[in-house]
A = this chain, B = another copy of it.
Amino acid sequence: MSDGVPRNGSLFGSSAKGSADLAGHPLVQRLEQLAPLTFEERRALVDAVSVEKEFPRGSEIVKQGSEPTVSCFLLDGFAGQNTYLSGGREQITAIRIPGDFVDLHSFLLAGMDHSIVALSDCRVGLVPHTNLKAITDDHPHLTRVLWLITLIDGAIHRAWVAAIGRRTAEQHLAHLVCELYVRLSRAGLVEGSAFTLPMTQSDMANALGLSSVHVNRVTMELRRNGLISWRHRVMEIPDFEKLADFADFDPTYLNLEGKRLR
């Protein structure tokens, strides 16, 4: 955790709130997309958030090698899970969007194997690990839903390994755009067929394991073929089916279907 601006006064920070509000909390909304929660579970979840913090674009929200005692929930903005290698090489291993529990895994993992970097200005809710510990002691169902969140992260990683290993650069970019489109849809952040994508082509290159020059060329090729239009931080997808088809995109791994967890 580095140079963010501490902030209090979250709309949902206090325990003295009515029950109606709880369903509107971004954390509750996200988890209830996976499984319904009881009032007590919502309460426990909302109360687990301690403070909010803001991070300017480019800043490190969590540092590789550190051992955090809180986990971050992304309220606003895009962030990247960034692994730094020797020789200045870096690789983004996941893109985090509003509503994502960015580093829930740091609750149990010993040390951070990657950084969390703000890809745009970010607003983050902090959840102390002690609170997560309490939740796992008292709320088995809620624990399973939290666990599930990290399992979906794992599935996304697998999809990335397959994409980077066996798809062409063009297909890979298309696949990532499909993934973001579906996830942002779920988060209510797609308007029509377009969404705001604050990442630069160079950020994208770090996510795809390519050079920024090649991302540029591949982007232009996809534009030429009418699969995407990506300009001025706006990604537009004229025909999602066509793009998904080209990318060989199968959304199974995003776990949209759900499963009875209670």
Interface residues of A (CB under 8 A from B): 65, 81, 83, 85-86, 89-91, 93-94, 105, 108-111, 113-114, 136-137, 140, 143-144, 147-148, 150-155, 157-162, 164-167, 208-209, 248, 252-253, 255, 257-259, 261
Check A158/B81 contact, CB under 8 A, given A136-B143, A164-B164, A166-B209: yes
With A151-B108, A157-B158 in contact, is A209–B165 under 8 Å at CB? yes
The docked-state distance in angstroms from the alpha carbon of A63 to that of B122 is 40
Instruction: Report, nearest first, the 3 A-B pairs whose CB atoms are least far apart.
Output: A165-B209, A157-B157, A113-B253
- Looking at the complex, which one of B86, B153, B259 makes contact with A154 (CB distance below 8 Å)? B153
Number of copies: 2
A90 to B165, CA, bound (A): 9
Given contacts A143-B140, A252-B111, contact A91 B157 (CB under 8 A): no
A162–B209 Cα gap in the complex (Å)?
8
Tell me which residues across on chain B come within 8 A of A253, comparing CB atoms.
113
Nearest B residue (CB) for A113: B253
CA separation between A89 and B253, bound complex, in Å? Answer: 18
> B residues within 8 A CB of A86?
248
Residue from A65, A110, A114, A208 having most chain B Cβ neighbours under 10 A:
A110
Q: Which of B91, B105, B248 meets A166, CB within 8 Å?
A: B91
Measured in the bound complex, the distance between the Cα atoms of B112 and A257 in whole Å is 12
User: When the two chains form the complex, which single residue of B136, B160, B258 contacts A144, counting CB atoms closer than 8 Å?
Assistant: B136
Q: Is the CB of B136 within 8 A of A137?
A: no
What residues of B have a CB within 8 angstroms of the CB of A89 in the complex?
Answer: 166-167
Do B248 and A162 touch across chains, with their CB atoms under 8 A apart?
Answer: no
- Least CB distance, A82 to chain B, in whole angstroms: 9
Please pick, from B164, B166, B257, the residue contacting A85 in the complex, using a CB distance under 8 A. B166
Q: Given contacts A93-B157, A154-B154, could you give 13 more A-B pairs where the C-beta distance is less than 8 Å? A: A83-B161, A85-B166, A90-B166, A108-B147, A108-B148, A108-B259, A109-B259, A111-B252, A113-B158, A114-B158, A136-B140, A140-B140, A157-B157
Nearest neighbor of A152 in chain B, beta-carbon distance: B109
